[in-house]
Structure 1
Amino acid sequence: MKQTKWVLILAITALFLSVACCYASGGHEHEQDKKVGILLVAFGSSEASAQISFEKIDDRVKARYPGIPVHWAYTSYIIRNKLAKQGKYLDSPEVALGKMMDQKFTHVAVQSLHTIIGAEYDDLKKTIDAYKVMEGFQKILLGYPLMATQEDMERTVDAVLATIPKERKKGEAIVLMGHGTHHPANAFYAALMFQLQLKDPNIFVGTVEGYPGIDMIQGLLQKKNLKKVWLMPLMSVAGDHAKNDMAGNEEDSWKSILTKAGIQCIIVLKGTAEYDAFADIWVDHIAGLLHHF
C-alpha cells in the first residue's frame, strides 16, 4: 500500500514538472517567434513623379528602424485600380494585413501617412479594429496621421516655416492646398492657418473639397492686397490634385482663379513627405507604436 502511495506521488510530481517545463518552453518559444513589422498606409497616387515622396518616407523609416520589414498599402481603390492597369499592384490595407498574418508577423505597427484624422483614417481604424479581434496578430496598433494632437500641429507649423522657398520675399504670400473633407476633422486646416498666421500673417491654408475654399483664400489675399503667391500642396505627394486642381491650366484651377484676379502664382510641386521636417512627424509616430511591443 505504501509502495503504491509513493508511486502515485512520484507520478503526480513528474506530471507537474512536465507541465511546468512545457509552459516554460512555450514561453521561450513565444519570445523567439515574435516577429515585428511596419505597414505604411497612404491614400496613394498614380503619378510616377509622386513616388518620390513615398520612396523618401520608405528610406527614412528603414533607416530609423533597421531590421524591421516595411510593407505598403493604399487606401484608394481608384488609385490601386489605375496602377493595376499599368501592371503595378498595390495592396489595400485589408489585403496587406492578411498577407502579413500569413507571413507569421505577430506585432504590426500600422502608420497612416494621411494628413488629418479624416474619413480615410477612420476607415483604416475600422480595419485595424477588425484585425484585433481575429486570431493571428498578438498586437496591432495604428499611428496618428500628420496632425492629430496639438504637438503635431506645432510641429507641422514649424515644418511649413522650414520649407518655405528661400526665394520668397517680404509681401509675398504662401498658399497651402490641403485635400479637405466633409469629416469633422476638416477643422484642422483652419486651425493650422490660425497657428501659422501667429508666426507669419501671409500664410494661408485652403482645401480642394472642404473649408476654407479657394474663394475665401482669394478674398483674404485681396483684402491684404497681396499680388504674388507661392502655391504649395499640403499633401504627402504632389499628385493629381497638386498638378491639376492647384497648378493646372483649367479655368477652375487655383492658379487660373488667382491669376485671373491679378495675383501672380509661383508653383511648388513637392509633397510634404519629400521634406524631412514633415516626414519626421510620421516617422516619430511609429516609435510610439513600437514602444508598446
Structure 2
Amino acid sequence: MSKKALFMVHFGTTHNDTRELTIDKMNKKFADEFKEYDLFTAYTSRIVLKRLKDRGENYSTPLKVLNALADQGYEELLIQTSHVIPGIEYENLVREVNSFSDKFKTVKIGKPLLYYIDDYKKCVEALAEEYVPKNKKEALVLVCHGTDSPLATSYAMIEYVFSDCGYDNVFVVCTTAYPLMDSLIKKLKKAGIEEITLAPFMFVAGEHAKKDMAVTYKEELEENGFKVNQVILKGLGEFDAIQNIFLNHLKLAIEKDDKDIADFKKEYTNKYL
C-alpha cells in the first residue's frame, strides 16, 4: 500500500489566537475529510517563520516538507493552500512542488480561495449577511493584504462582485499596492458614505488586521470625517463556508486534472471555427 500525505500550506501567522480559529481549524477539517492521509503543514511567509523562530517556535517551509516526504517514501500527495489569491506566494509554492514532480507518484494541488468565478460569488454569500451594513450611508470596508502581482485585480473584482450582487456599499482597500487608502477615501466620499465597518479580507486576523486595520486605518478614516462603528477581527478562515470553498477546490483537483487557459481556448476554437 502506498504512503499518502495531506500537505496543508499557509501564509502563516504569529498570532496564536487567530491561528487556532483559522489555520488549526482548517487543518483539522481537511484531516477529518482525508483520514487515510498523514497530515503535514508548512508556512510560506519567511517573515512569519523568522519571527516564530525568534521566539522558539519552529515551523517548516514547503521545501523542507517536500524533501522530508520524498525521503520518507510518500507516493501520493494532496496539497491545499489557504492563500486568498493565486499570487506570488502561491506561484512560488507551485514552482517548488513542480521541482519534485519525479519524486511522487501523484500530486494534486487545490486552488486558492479566489480562482474560479463562482468562488467570488460564494465569498459574497458567506460574508454578506453577517458583514454588510443595512444602512446605505454605512459602508463595509474589506481590508486585504494586497500584492505586486498582476493578480491584484482579484481584490478589485471581489468589490465588483459584491456590487453586482446588490451590495453597493462594500469597498476594498489593500495594505500593499492597489487600491490604497487615498483611493478608498475618494470612493467613500463620492458614494456619500458617513459610517464605516472594517473587516479583514484575509485568512487570518493577525498583524495586518490588529494593527494596520484596527489602529492605523481606523484613525485615518476618522481623521477624514468618517465614523467607524465597528472593527471586526475575524479572519476568513473562521467561516465554514470559506473553508468549504478550499475543500471543494481540492476535491476538484482530485477528480480531474485542471485545464489551463490554453487548453480551454483550444477547445472553444475548435468548436466554433
Alignment TM class, shorter chain as reference: 0.7 to 0.9
The question of 1:152 aligning with 2:119 is answered: yes
Contact 1:128 1:141 in 2 (8 A): no
Shift of 1:83: 0.9
For residues 20-39 of structure 1, the aligned pairs below 5 Å read 32=1, 34-39=2-7
The question of 1:170 aligning with 2:138 is answered: no
**How many equivalent pairs are there?**
253
Provide the residue aligned with 1:273 in structure 2. Answer: 237
| 1:262-292 alpha-carbon deviations (Å, 9 max, x no partner) | 2122100011001111111111112123335
Provide the residue aligned with 1:95 in structure 2. Answer: 64
For residues 191-202 of structure 1, the aligned pairs below 5 Å read 191-198=157-164, 199-202=166-169
Provide the residue aligned with 2:55 in structure 1. Answer: 86
Query: What's the % identity of the aligned pairs?
Result: 28
Q: Which runs of 4+ in 1 moved over 6 A?
A: none
Q: Tell me, in whole angstroms, the C-alpha distance in 2 between the residues paired with 1:103 and 1:235.
A: 34
Q: 2:114 is paired with a residue of what secondary structure?
A: coil
Q: Tell me, in whole angstroms, the C-alpha distance in 2 between the residues paired with 1:93 and 1:114.
A: 14
Provide the residue aligned with 1:255 in structure 2. Answer: 218
Q: 1:221 is paired with a residue of what secondary structure?
A: helix
For residues 104-253 of structure 1, the aligned pairs below 5 Å read 104-132=73-101, 134=102, 136-164=103-131, 168-171=133-136, 172-198=138-164, 199-248=166-215, 253=216
Q: Tell me, in whole angstroms, the C-alpha distance in 2 between the residues paired with 1:183 and 1:37.
A: 30
Normalised to the residue count of structure 2, the TM-score between the two structures is 0.88
Q: Tell me, in whole angstroms, the C-alpha distance in 1 between the residues paired with 2:8 and 2:130.
A: 24
Any gaps of 5 or more consecutive residues in structure 1? 1-31
Instruction: Name the CA shift for 1:127/1:155 in 2 (closer, same or farther; >3 Å).
Output: same
Contact 2:6 2:31 in 1 (8 A): no
Q: 1:109 is paired with a residue of what secondary structure?
A: strand
Q: Tell me, in whole angstroms, the C-alpha distance in 1 between the residues paired with 2:197 and 2:35.
A: 37
Normalised to the residue count of structure 1, the TM-score between the two structures is 0.82
Any gaps of 5 or more consecutive residues in structure 2? 258-273
Contact 1:110 1:142 in 2 (8 A): yes
Q: 1:38 is paired with a residue of what secondary structure?
A: strand
| 1:52-85 alpha-carbon deviations (Å, 9 max, x no partner) | 2111111211222223222111011111111112
- Which residue identity does 1:285 align to in structure 2? H
The question of 1:286 aligning with 2:250 is answered: yes
- Which residue identity does 2:225 align to in structure 1? G
Larger radius of gyration: 1
Shift of 1:232: 0.6
